[in-house]
Structure 1
Amino acid sequence: MFKLLKNGHCFAPDDMGIKDILLANDKICDIKEEILAANLWDVEVIDCQHCLVCPGIIDQHVHITGGGGEQGPISRIPEIMFSKIVEAGVTTVVGVLGFDSITRSIAGLLAKARGLEAEGITTYIYTGSYGSPTETLTGRVLTDIALLDKVIGVGEIAIADYRSNHPSLQDLRTLASEANAGGMLGAKAGVLHLHVGDGEEGLQSLFRLVEESDFPINMFVPTHINRNATLFDQGIEFLKRGGQIDLTAGETKGYSVAKALAMLVAQGINLEKVTVSSDGNGSASNEGGISNIGQLFNDIRACVLENNLQLSMVIKTVTLNPARILKLYPQKGCLLPGSDADILVLKENDLSIYRLIARGQVVVEDQKAVKKGKYEN
């Protein structure tokens, strides 16, 4: 019933110093300098001495049903497995459909999300796909968001990409209207999650949309912003206007996550509206042709170990910041009494995963999944 994490250096994600954390079933119920196991019944004690204790990672851009398809049927990427997600330190995932809305569907995305949640993590999805009019389950973005519990926004809608159908400003305005209204009616984030390609237009259509409408700027989440220097500069401008941006892990042609965050910090930009996601299980230009969800965790480690950025600042880009943008805070993205028991415990010396707890259950020990999905060996 109870789990007691003893003597860990807690980042909630702000630095709290050495604390004990008491979990009851799937919730955090207490955080103190000392909690005595002798006062508890049916308690499992986890020694976290010489460890850093953080919220579980929120990955807001994962192709859970598989991405790809751009090179024909053989390039369709299989569904992601539960163990791959948790071994990446991820306890909450948001599924996206992406380019292929012919052999994939919102119904399949929703079913996969429900399956992963039954296996032990928290899941949400975006309705929609690259195109516009975009894919939905109920026939409208608005009703998908308002009525389907797992749908928290629309995306990834592609702009500045030859694979998109180049949505007009009116198309984007309609999508934003539907997402905004659906979010209001369903008490959801109602975000418009935008895939931004390498096209020359970059973020220009988003700038025009914000300038020529009254939509709240914080409902727009443009991703892949670190894919080239010009787009990154536009992302900085969007931040300065009050917007938010999402960086993609594993970027090799533009700026790495560590480089991009270091550049933002050097310019004195507050990172509270900057997030990082993996694009996991989507198509990639690497040898395997698949984006590795684990690259997100690798990039976060590199920010601290190789670029000397503060862990409390970097970890927010994959915990507190996405939780606030997606309106999951304080249930997710933090270590607070009453929050979900999603906890990432890292070894202090090398930031490798010592334990990962998802919804109160230990799912990873010493970097290996101790719980696997229904159809995993």
Structure 2
Amino acid sequence: MTANVGGISTEGLSNVPDAPLLLLRNADVHAPTHLGRQDLLIGGGRILAMQPAEDAARPTPAHTNLIDLQGRRVMPGLIDGHAHITGGGGEAGAHTRVPPVPLSRFTRAGITTVVGLLGTDDTTRSTRELVATANGLRNEGLNAYAYTGGYHLPLATVTGSVRDDLAFIDCLIGVGELAICDHRSSQPTRDELLRVAADAHVGGLLTGKAGILHLHLGDGPRGLAQVREALDASEIPARVFNPTHVNRRRASSTASSKSARRGCTIDITAFPVAADEDAWAADEALLRYLDSGAPAERVTVSSDGGGCLPVFDTQGRMLSMGVGAPDSLHKTLKMLLARGETLERVLPAFTSNPARLLRLENKGRVAQGADADLLILNEDDDVSDVLISGRWFVRDGQAVIRGTFEGAR
């Protein structure tokens, strides 16, 4: 059946549901390529059609909700590839375990897809708990995935096997965050690292999932040496190795572009950085990477939301801690815009790049047939509205859908 909804043809879209459609007019679309003003027809959780906006007023048919965005910027929802959805921490005792991150902490930050993981504490926290938390966020409407394992070997899996976890547990899409170059790690050898990477890769092949090894990079002097050694010693595709926190030390940030040139995707963390710290803030790290000429599609930015941000002394004793915030992702994007950068240049690191790495083909872009996961900014570059699968989660900066226990006493 062919229809014409608000001037947008739906020819060939035979599966358009009977539920009311949403028509967003005059959206300044960053897909992330800048497409200018477009009209978007949304239904069934997808972008059903998109075409350039017209100045002339057009009738709105029945059963269609119309919103005129008047040129506000619309882009894919942010994809946070590294968040401690069950809470991180615990490095200074049980009372320092960070609580789980509720739904609206993500959605109010413009995040429509999140990947959860375990960190230092893969002892009192488990992958089973992680899967349950991811499924809970899914039930509440967020696109939620997770990695099996944690900092340490042997990996904290559900089934006892990385490949089985990926094959039989829907939300598990890779392995992580396995720690290297860190006093809290299990000090994996090159061969142990290769074995885990091989299982992640084959698990991905068998399932069509990402199949990556997400590596926590500590602040030790070895930096990315183990990643380079693993690439030199095996036939495993470089895309499998996905080091994060590469901006934790300036030398590691510089070296990470070399890993990206070899085919790895590197992940920058949006954590706070003091002026005298030997680290790069996420906005500075991203610009330095892009200016280096390394492949622009092989860099992502994540929040470390819910994770512990500890400071240790030379004996490995925690002196202080902060907690990662999901909104650090949007704040980094806003800082980049304040520096005069264009969305077309920097937005892929928050959207299309992680979608490509995680093999989420219908996310990270604004296009016909893509998932209707959209972020709308206001004139001050703040999060105004958020759609997930065509459903409003944030309106005018306020969460209209909250997690089950948010606000409970």
Relative to the length of structure 1, the TM-score reads 0.96
- Report the equivalent of 1:303: 336
Cα drift, residue 260 of structure 1: 1.2
Match for 2:52 among 16, 20, 33? 33
Matched, 1:262 2:287: yes
Match for 1:71 among 92, 111, 123? 92
Matched, 1:227 2:257: no
Matched, 1:368 2:398: yes
SS of residue matched to 1:362? strand
Please list every run of 5 or more consecutive structure 1 residues that lacks an aligned counterpart in the other structure.
none
Cα drift, residue 288 of structure 1: 6.9
- Report the equivalent of 2:17: none
Question: Which structure 2 residues correspond to residues 82-231 of structure 1 after superposition, within 5 A?
Answer: 82-231=103-252
Question: Which structure 2 residues correspond to residues 307-346 of structure 1 after superposition, within 5 A?
Answer: 307-329=339-361, 331-346=362-377
Alpha-carbon contact 1:21-1:30 (below 8 Å) kept: yes
SS of residue matched to 1:108? helix
- Report the equivalent of 2:41: 22
Cα RMSD of the aligned pairs, angstroms, is 1.5
Matched, 1:277 2:302: yes
Question: Which structure 2 residues correspond to residues 340-359 of structure 1 after superposition, within 5 A?
Answer: 340-347=371-378, 349-359=379-389
Q: Which digits, 9 at most, give the CA deviation of each residue in 1:274-303, with x for residues without a partner? A: 000001000014987211111111001101
TM-aligned CA distance change 1:170 to 1:149, over 3 Å: same
Cα drift, residue 142 of structure 1: 1.0
SS of residue matched to 1:165? coil
Counterpart AA for 1:80 = V
Alpha-carbon contact 2:271-2:304 (below 8 Å) kept: no
CA–CA separation in structure 2 for the residues paired with 1:250 and 1:196 = 14
CA–CA separation in structure 1 for the residues paired with 2:126 and 2:28 = 43
CA–CA separation in structure 2 for the residues paired with 1:44 and 1:53 = 17
Counterpart AA for 2:346 = V
Alpha-carbon contact 2:23-2:42 (below 8 Å) kept: yes
- Report the equivalent of 2:317: none
Cα drift, residue 147 of structure 1: 1.6
Identity %: 39
Higher Rg of the two aligned structures:
2
Matched, 1:10 2:42: no
SS of residue matched to 1:46? strand
Q: Which digits, 9 at most, give the CA deviation of each residue in 1:170-227, with x for residues without a partner? A: 1101101110111111111100000000011111011000111000001111000011
CA–CA separation in structure 1 for the residues paired with 2:216 and 2:321 = 22
TM-aligned CA distance change 1:159 to 1:288, over 3 Å: closer
Question: Which structure 2 residues correspond to residues 228-243 of structure 1 after superposition, within 5 A?
Answer: 228-243=249-264
- Report the equivalent of 1:289: 322
SS of residue matched to 2:322? coil
SS of residue matched to 1:338? coil
Cα drift, residue 34 of structure 1: 3.5
SS of residue matched to 1:284? strand
Relative to the length of structure 2, the TM-score reads 0.89
Deviates more, 1:29-38 or 1:236-245: 29-38
Counterpart AA for 2:252 = L
Alpha-carbon contact 1:226-1:251 (below 8 Å) kept: no
Alpha-carbon contact 1:97-1:156 (below 8 Å) kept: yes
SS of residue matched to 1:189? coil
Please list every run of 5 or more consecutive structure 2 residues that lacks an aligned counterpart in the other structure.
1-19, 312-319
Cα drift, residue 40 of structure 1: 3.3
Q: Which digits, 9 at most, give the CA deviation of each residue in 1:237-281, with x for residues without a partner? A: 112223220000024031111111222233233321100000100
Q: Which digits, 9 at most, give the CA deviation of each residue in 1:28-50, with x for residues without a partner? A: 10111238873533222222113
Q: Which digits, 9 at most, give the CA deviation of each residue in 1:100-146, with x for residues without a partner? A: 11111111100111110111111110000000111100001111012
Counterpart AA for 2:365 = C
CA–CA separation in structure 2 for the residues paired with 1:275 and 1:318 = 6
CA–CA separation in structure 1 for the residues paired with 2:77 and 2:396 = 15
SS of residue matched to 1:201? coil
Alpha-carbon contact 1:319-1:334 (below 8 Å) kept: yes
SS of residue matched to 1:38? coil
Cα drift, residue 355 of structure 1: 0.8
CA–CA separation in structure 1 for the residues paired with 2:164 and 2:33 = 37
- Report the equivalent of 2:316: none
Match for 2:68 among 47, 50, 55? 47
